[in-house]
Amino acid sequence: MNSTTKSKEFEQHYSGTLSDYVTAIAWSPQGKTLAATSAAGEVVLWNNGELTTLQTGNGKSLDCLAFSPDGKFLAVGGQDGQVKIWRDTELIATLENAPAWVDKLAWNYTSNQLAFSLGRYVQVWDADSREIIVTLNFENSSVLGIDWRIDGQYLAISGYQGIKIWHSQNWDEEPYILDMPSVSVAMAWSPDGKFLASGNMDRSVTVLEWNNPDPWVMRGFPGKIRQLAWSEATTKLGAPILASSSVEGIVVWEKLEDDSLGWEARVLTNHVGVINAIAFAPKSFLLASAAADGWLCLWNQAKEVSQIITGVSGGFSALAWHPQGKLLAAGGEQGELVIWSKVLRGQGFGRS
């Protein structure tokens, strides 16, 4: 599909460069700051057109970053086993975990508690007391996914043979276990906290409705499920939409009224390279997908391509929507950091 046939929804707003592959990007919850990490170990902040370096490259890849819900803390983790936490631009804590590689971390939505992976374990660090409050043993394998439910009550951890879910008010309680015969590669709670989805190595997607012991299992993908994304917006049934990516294809799942029929699939095809990131715009069904083919596709209503964005010399590696949806940021395999802004309609002449 030729992107010139339709009017642009987003236009380039900023472009900068890190020295290596952009591994992760995230907006602060208030939307003032974009943070990015690279395979060279850099940590940078973009704010109002200015790029500030929090950490220069040390040759050790950083693989994950996240802002706390109040936007005060930024945590990053990576190859050297360190978890570093900044408050504004001041480094306030360095947690040493070598030789473990920290490649997953997530903040609780309701308190300043940071969960991060250490091989087969997850530790939870409290930013207020500055100490580790619990170490959770996943046992079956290395941890491949960490996600808190929106109410902060439950922490889900995924890997080989499924997902374990701990109650954050009682860490000593045995976790709820969602068993599966495969490896949970990608995992995410829906924004409303009603559903938990798992993308699996055996080319299936499992969706658990909380308080319902029988999960739905959807099959028929070309490869393992690499990414999942839930919409904040909900359908007439009151359920969010789930997007899942496998190799260069996307399958969008919409819940049907009849629970026994489960979820209906539609396939989105346009990419010719492996999809590295997918995300819904806030409070909308506009889906963005970024791939190794150098295309960032915008899918209107998660159905058809409405714009194809380019702007990196290799492929895209990461993407993140601004909390109000007015900006879209992406990282490139060659270190590019690009931000697009939503085109405002009807602003004088020449804008259609």
pLDDT of residue 346: 59
According to DSSP, the β-strands at 287-291 and 296-300 are antiparallel
Q: Please give the C-alpha separations between residue 33 and each of 25, 27, 43, 47, in angstroms, as whole numbers.
A: 11, 6, 13, 5
pLDDT of residue 208: 96
Tell me how far apart the terminal alpha carbons of the chain are, to the nearest angstrom: 20
Site of tokens 């004088």? 348
Site of tokens 């990196």? 312
Give the count of beta carbons closer than 10 Å to the beta carbon of residue 139.
11
Interatomic CA distance for residues 290 and 331, integer angstroms: 9
Interatomic CA distance for residues 183 and 159, integer angstroms: 5
Contact between 166 and 123 (Cβ < 8 Å): no
Interatomic CA distance for residues 151 and 178, integer angstroms: 20
Interatomic CA distance for residues 291 and 317, integer angstroms: 7
DSSP per residue over 250-267, as a string? EEEEEE-SSTTT-EEEEE
DSSP per residue over 77-128, as a string? EETTSEEEEEETTEEEEEEE-TTS----EEE-SSSSEEEEEETTEEEEEETT
Torsion sign (Cα): 338, 281, 151, 180: negative
pLDDT of residue 89: 92
- Reported for 77-82, long-range contacts at CB under 8 A and 24+ positions apart, including other chains, are 77/102, 77/103, 77/104, 77/105, 77/116, 77/117, 78/23, 78/37, 78/41, 78/102, 78/103, 79/41, 80/41, 81/118
Torsion sign (Cα): 38, 281, 206, 115: positive
pLDDT of residue 347: 52
Interatomic CA distance for residues 265 and 61, integer angstroms: 37
Residue 276's nearest CA partner among 221, 335, 339, 333 is 333
| Residue segments in the chain with a per-residue pLDDT below the cut of 70 | 1-7, 346-352
pLDDT in tens, 310-330: 999 999 999 999 999 999 999
pLDDT of residue 220: 78
Site of tokens 């200015």? 50
Alpha-carbon dihedral angle through residues 332, 334, 335, 338, given to the nearest 10 degrees:
-40
**Degrees to nearest 5, angle at CA 25 with 23 and 26:** 150
Who's near 70: CB < 8 A, 6+ residues apart? 29, 112
Give the count of beta carbons closer than 10 Å to the beta carbon of residue 294.
20
pLDDT of residue 260: 87
Give the predicted TM-score (pTM) of the model. 0.94
Buried b (16+ CB within 10 A) or exposed e, 201-233: bebbbbbbbeeeeebbebeebeebbbbbbbbbb
